[in-house]
Amino acid sequence: MAAHAAVRVRHYRSRAWALPVTLGVAYGFYAGFLRRTGRDVNWGDVLFGVVCGVIVAALAFGLGRIQQSLSHEVRAAAYATLFGGAMGYLFSQTGASVLKSSVMGLVLGGAMLVCAFYVFHTRE
């Protein structure tokens, strides 16, 4: 029994990576699709999608790891910043101007701020 008690059990959430990876894969596929712009898929488009997906997944995973240490307001702002920045960047891949992409990112980020703030205050 003593040998069993000496084994440290890590209590991590076993699926803490599942949502960030899913978001990263979906984001990467869509980013690569937008970059393609009607021509055949090449390795540059695939690499672009993979890099975009890895970056979004890493940011989402990092935010998920530290979210419990943040207050409700700061956590909502962090999710809004990540979402607004990611969507604004995707919108810029359609050929839109920087100003239009920035406005779209701010609008979608603002919507995420309101939604996340509501969820964090009513569920916790």
Residues 120 and 76 sit within 8 Å (Cβ to Cβ): yes
Angle 122-123-124 from CA coordinates, rounded to 5°: 100
Residue-averaged pLDDT of the chain:
88
Structure-token pair, residue 78: 């962090």
DSSP designation for 94: T
Give which of 50, 78, 64 is closest to 20, Cα–Cα.
64
3-state secondary structure of 97: coil
Residues 46 and 105 sit within 8 Å (Cβ to Cβ): no
pTM of this prediction?
Answer: 0.82
pLDDT of 123 above 80: yes
69-113 tens-digit pLDDT = 999 999 999 999 999 999 999 999 998 999 999 999 999 999 999
Residues 76 and 98 sit within 8 Å (Cβ to Cβ): no
